[in-house]
Amino acid sequence: MIRLFRTLSSLKTGILLLVAITICALAGVVIPQGLEVQRYVHKWGPVAGSLLVSVGLDRLFSTLWYNILLGLFSLNVLLCTINRIRASVISLLHPGFLGADTIERFPLHAVVQSPFSVEQLRKRLIAFLRKRYFRVSVSAAGNTVLLDARRGALRDVGMALLHLSVLPLLIGGLIGQTGGFSYPQLLGKGEIAAVRERTFSVRCDYFRLELNEQGQIKDYKSKLTLLDSAGDSILSRVIEVNHPLVYKGIKFYQSSYRTDPLRVDSVRLVVRGSAVGSVGKGVVVVPGTPARISGTGLSVAVHRFIPDFWIDMETREPQSRSKEHNNPAFLISVADSADTLFKGWVFEKFGAMHHSDDTCSVALMTYGQQYATGLLIKENPGGPAIWAGIIFMSIGVLLVFWVTRRRLRIAITPAPSGSVFTVGTTPVRNDPDAEHVFNQTVSAFTAEFGIASKETANGTVD
């Protein structure tokens, strides 16, 4: 069991798993996913295509064995993190005392002759180090006094937080993968869409573009209303980029927009004929809302819009070939209080097809397209855990890079004319000032207490 634990928590195991996952992911990118079996057989041949499908390379990211690899890698990261945190906590809480022989093998060390007794030197050293914000632990081994002085313990805390941050990130990712969703939704004005896995829906009340003085797009906003299962309003709010609507853990982001190919917001027409005069009168009509022609008793209505008009010869019904505005046409009616004077299709590109007689004729001038809002509807129940991991990681990185850790190991031994203390340190990585600070600290102590003899690591004597 111990051997299995060591294997699973090994850095080598983690590297091997990472390499395997990377290779599999590359295969999943190169090999198209989710196609019919016949297409793999046609492209790769009967043998290779069948083998590819049988091992699941056509649906790699949902196969059991690939998810087992991900699970083992996550377990390895978890165990490595626990081991590293354990080592950091032990190092932080438990002092380590070393004898003079061991300290002299440190890359940076000094042996100082002192006229003070062991006890006097111990007190002076502790006071000196505490003034410089070292936390000093004391022990004894026979006649020798051992000191472990540390400063910058927050760096160890930062290292522990840095490794600890992996855990909530893994947990949050797992929760979000299994219990969350994220999908785009395009909504035109007045359209309603059900929210996945919920009993409420979202309606777009309007979408608006805001332009600057140069006519460039400055911002775009949507007013959304959430509706319960009975169609009653729950909540309404205007959203814009980086300001989503949040309801019960679900966020509605303003992510994009585009013109709605099946909707227009207004149509400008010119109506001529004996009822309005030979010159004619212009009128702007909003689809679904009749508009009065000024100075007359006539009203104009737009009943239907087809972006790419054509007639189905079998059914004789007008239809649209596509959503592109290749042949836009509007079904228009003109009526007075009693009769309908005109009702027919009016085309933008073929003016000769416009209905015309002595009583009434209609010509299409321009029309304005409606915009549809592009939403991103997202729920991530693992979000709080992920944010906790990000906060831990940020604090950890800050402490690791901004706090310098110093640790001095000291052994004080009695001598015929006083005592000898041996001090040493092992410089940490990325600390180019370690030797300078160490020599400066030793020199400051010897100068403060009038100690004249000092032997350093390179053998020089002051």
pLDDT value at 2 more than 80:
no
**pLDDT confidence of residue 459:** 43
CA 129 to chain centre: 45
For 167-260+373-392, which CATH class?
mainly beta
Residue 400 has pLDDT above 80, yes or no: yes
What are the CA-CA distances from residue 407 to residues 46, 153, 286, 425 (Å)?
A: 67, 9, 79, 6
Decide which of 201 and 197 is more confident: 201
Average pLDDT over the chain, rounded to an integer:
85
**Residue range 239-248: average pLDDT?**
91
pLDDT at 189: 84
Helical axes 166-179 vs 153-164, angle rounded to 10°: 20
Considering the chain, tell me which residue range(s) the CATH 2.60.98 domain(s) occupy. Answer: 167-260+373-392
The pLDDT value recorded for residue 456 is 56
Residue 389 vs residues 91, 202, 336: alpha-carbon distances, Å: 23, 32, 70
pLDDT(462) > 70: no
The architecture that CATH gives domain 95-152+404-456 is: 2-Layer Sandwich (3.30)
Question: pTM, whole model, 2 decimals?
Answer: 0.55
Name the residue among 407, 432, 404, 409 with its Cα closest to residue 421: 409
pLDDT per residue over 316-348, tens digit each?
A: 889 998 888 889 999 999 988 778 888 889 998
Give the tens place of pLDDT for each residue, 29-50: 788 877 778 878 888 888 888 8
Mean pLDDT check: name the lowest of 3-17, 106-120, 444-458: 444-458
∠ CA(146), CA(151), CA(152), 5° rounding? 145
In terms of phi and psi (left: phi > 0; alpha: psi -120 to 50; beta: otherwise), the region of 269 is beta
Helix axes 11-30, 64-93, angle to 10 degrees: 150
Task: List where CATH 3.30.160.690 sits in the chain.
Answer: 95-152+404-456
